[in-house]
Amino acid sequence: MSENVLEAVVANDLCVGCGMCAGMLPGSLRMHTNKYGAYVPELIEQVDQGWEQVSLQVCPFANNDENEDSIGKKLFNFQEGVQHCSETGYYLKCFTGHVLNEEVRLSATSGGIITWLAEELLSSGKVDAVACVGKCDEGENLFEYKFITDAAEISECRKSRYYPVEFSGTIRKIKEVEGKVLFIGLPCFIKAMRLAMKQDPVLADRVAYTIGLFCGHLKSKHYAAYLARSSGVHEKDIQTVDFRKKIKDKPANKYAFEVVTRNEGPDNHRQIMMQDVWASSWSNNLFMLDACEYCDDIMAETADISVGDAWLAEFIKDYRGTSITICRNTDLLH
């Protein structure tokens, strides 16, 4: 057997669990959750010809020839006015801002830019579907990738989810259903998509735009369970969680964790300030996937647009949230 993603990546704890390998090779690989609360691929059958090589070609953490710099250069460097710096990668313009609808802004993680942009692209017909993360409809997982074709449903997928998800099923959906797609994901997810688009002409044709989220690292499923228990709720009683509950008159970076329990009643919503939970600090790196130790792509350098928190001095006092937006694609500037 030739070297493959299981031997070169998973065995060395470098897998981020994106699911791209399983999406591209459904006859050979499938995703499952390991004991650490993270997704990893496993071998089911060796029926896809050349699966070993393909599994490495589309993996964002495999030792292949393409990195964020080379991918970004091919995608964006030809545009007039493009600039580059090591932190952001290539970019045309950077913005700060928020949506004008107060209700939408308050229900977003920061300024509501991603939700607004996804709705605009879908309702205007520039894309026919949006692949993004929303609440699970069934099963034990809290969140999963959705394939949305109705702009009215985009709002159900707003908010950051500090929780592992995989998109192998989404890849198969994109390849099955005709039309243009907006793909929203973490930096490593966007990189995996770019690598796969290079290998698969159907994906290259159908994924019209990508939006990347600023990312410090990805958490395992145990992070949500830990926060729930810190709020006095057992993980088996969780209905859903909000990792970024805004608190009025607090700085934007002082937010709460909210858990909704399966038990009906006045006490089924529990909140705890993140700053009061020691292991919630991103700098402690607890519940972090090992792969994230080897990633420096904070701002999704291969995405058409990247969005994150504007925790800058001039914005951080406003609890309602403001977003930083980095645009790399001329089509999305206006």
Give me the pLDDT at residue 268, please: 85
Domain ranges of the chain: 5-219+288-332, 221-284
Name the percent of the chain lying above pLDDT 70: 99
Give me the pLDDT at residue 64, please: 84
b/e for 193-213, b at 16 or more Cβ within 10 A?
A: bbbbbeebeebeebbbbbbbb
Q: What is the 3-state secondary structure (H, E, C) of the chain?
A: CCCCHHHHCHHHCCCCCCCHHHHHCCCCEEEEECCCCCEEEEECCCCCCCHHHHHHHCCCCCCCCCCHHHHHHHHHCCCCCCEEECCCEEECEEEEECCCCHHHHHCCCCCCHHHHHHHHHHHCCCCCEEEEEEECCCCCCCEEEEEECCHHHHHHHCCCCCCCCCCHHHHHHHHHCCCCEEEEECHHHHHHHHHHHHHCHHHHHHEEEEEEECCCCCECHHHHHHHHHHCCCCHHHEEEEEEEECCCCCCCCCCEEEEEECCCCCCCEEEEEHHHCHHHCHHHCCCECHHHHHCCCCCCCCCCEEEEECCCCCCCCCCCCCEEEEECCHHHCC
b/e for 137-159, b at 16 or more Cβ within 10 A?
A: eeeebbbbbbbbeeeeebbebbb
Mean pLDDT within 256-268? 86
Q: What angle do CA 20, 225, 293 make, to 5 degrees?
A: 50
On the question of pLDDT at 164 being above 90, the answer is: yes
pLDDT digits (tens, 9 = 90+) for 56-92: 999 999 998 899 999 999 999 999 999 999 999 999 9
For β-strands 143-148 and 305-309, DSSP reports them as: unpaired
In terms of Cα–Cα distance, which of 65, 110, 33, 47 is closest to 307? 110
On the question of pLDDT at 162 being above 60, the answer is: yes
Q: Which of 167-171, 262-266, 273-277, 283-287 has the lowest mean pLDDT?
A: 262-266
Beta bridge partners of 39: 33
Beta bridge partners of 129: 181
Give me the pLDDT at residue 50, please: 87
Mean pLDDT within 309-326? 97
Mean pLDDT within 276-294? 91
Task: State phi, psi for 219 to the nearest 5 degrees.
Answer: -95, 160
On the question of pLDDT at 95 being above 90, the answer is: yes
On the question of pLDDT at 1 being above 70, the answer is: no
pLDDT digits (tens, 9 = 90+) for 105-152: 999 999 999 999 999 999 999 999 999 999 998 888 999 999 999 998
Predicted confidence band of residue 283 (pLDDT cuts 50, 70, 90): confident
Distance between CA atoms of 189 and 36, rounded to whole angstroms?
20
pLDDT digits (tens, 9 = 90+) for 166-219: 999 999 999 999 999 999 999 999 999 999 999 999 999 999 999 999 999 999
On the question of pLDDT at 2 being above 80, the answer is: no
On the question of pLDDT at 103 being above 60, the answer is: yes
Residue with tokens 């605009």: 120
Task: State phi, psi for 310 to the nearest 5 degrees.
Answer: -95, 70
Contact 332, 307 (CB under 8 A): no
On the question of pLDDT at 322 being above 70, the answer is: yes
On the question of pLDDT at 242 being above 80, the answer is: yes
Contact 94, 88 (CB under 8 A): yes
